[in-house]
Amino acid sequence: MSGSTFGKIFTVTTWGESHGAGLGAVIDGCPAGLVLTAEDINRALQRRRPGQSALTTPRREADRAVILSGLFDDRTTGTPISVAVYNENQRSKDYGHLKNCYRPAHADFTFDKKYGHRDYRGGGRSSGRETIGRVIGGAVAAKLLSCFGIQTDAYTAATGHITIPPDEVDLSLRDTNALYMPHPLAAEAEAAVLAAAKAGDSMGGIVRCRTLNIPTGLGEPVFRKLDALLGQALFSIGGVKAVEIGIGTGASTCRGSDCNDAFVLRDNRIRTATNHAGGVLGGIADGEPLEVSVHFKPTPSISQPQRTVRTDGTPMELSVTGRHDPVIFPRAVVVVESMVNLVLADLLLEQATARLDNLKKIFPV
């Protein structure tokens, strides 16, 4: 299987399956000298860990990172950083009834057609547990970005008919509820999700992400635009069906006079009066906050009867049993942050080679 590596200079290769011995990541291209500990990674992993509320799968996993290489005296050495998380609570027998049929809206059918066989125990590499490797890489990227004051925060913005107004977001409330929704509406949203789960159903939602203090100039024109790489990174997360930068699809219904962000001089800096572009112009960061919205579909594993077929094509009715999340997006909040941070870390290192005067600072003559 190709396609398990992301990035150009700061690269992350993820490995492992939901019901294998473990999962992890190898991060390469991280500069030497970055202070890093397992706890830096574990803090991020705990935000996506299963079994923390009624809104997540009851699968109990500690999800503690073991750093195998790339550190000495809690500093990166410049060599590949290899990190593992070992599975401890697999129940592969729960998936035996799926061996000879295809779950609707899952990757069972397409994996079978691509590879000729598949790991039906939780989906293998298409399982949401695959995101462990992304969060590991994202935690290292976040630590690197923090050296430059770059801070990324994501949160649940909507589910069902409940949407929190952007101007009422209170990040101090984000980690106080199972949905990671930074608003008092979280209680109503949780009730809606629990009602869907009780009915054997699931719900979709929107995760919004904001990054502050991005240096102006990050992003490469044409194929490595900042927004293009963000699209690739975020669409690679399982369950994502749409990604918006700034006002996103709203731009298609605006006039230019409404959509354009006027330039102004503020605090002795050239800024924009509004941020409809979401911090990206011409594929390059313009210095304004990066604003991204990520739309997740409902969890496809539901206990309601669904029509499907067996692998030989004969029709059948399937009710998916086992341990599943009624919603994907709460545990994906940290995954969205991670993928945004991976893009920014890679482009930050690439920016160092964009101008001759940058190189002369490194190699003075």
pLDDT single digits (tens) 107-135: 889 988 888 887 777 677 888 889 999 99
DSSP 8: S
- Give me the residues paired with residue 76 across strands: 71
Positive or negative torsion for Cα 280, 281, 285, 286: negative
Check: CB of residue 45 under 8 Å from CB of residue 63.
yes
Residue of 186, 85, 90 whose CA lies nearest to 139: 85
Tell me if residue 107 falls in helix, strand or coil: coil
Q: What angle do CA 287, 293, 298 make, to 5 degrees?
A: 165
More confident residue, 55 or 43: 43
Check: CB of residue 71 under 8 Å from CB of residue 11.
no
Give Cα separations from 243 to 38, 123, 231, 232, 325 (angstroms). 31, 24, 6, 10, 22
pLDDT digits (tens, 9 = 90+) for 161-191: 999 999 999 999 999 999 999 999 999 999 9
- What amino acid is encoded at 69 in this protein? S
Residue of 209, 215, 358, 364 whose CA lies nearest to 291: 209
pTM of the model: 0.93
User: Residue 274: pLDDT above 90?
Assistant: yes
Check: CB of residue 347 under 8 Å from CB of residue 290.
no
pLDDT of residue 339: 98
pLDDT of residue 107: 87
Tell me if residue 71 falls in helix, strand or coil: strand
CA dist., res. 360 & res. 365, Å (int) = 7
User: Residue 313: pLDDT above 70?
Assistant: yes
Of 99-113, 161-175, 288-302, where does mean pLDDT reach its minimum? 99-113
CA dist., res. 268 & res. 259, Å (int) = 24
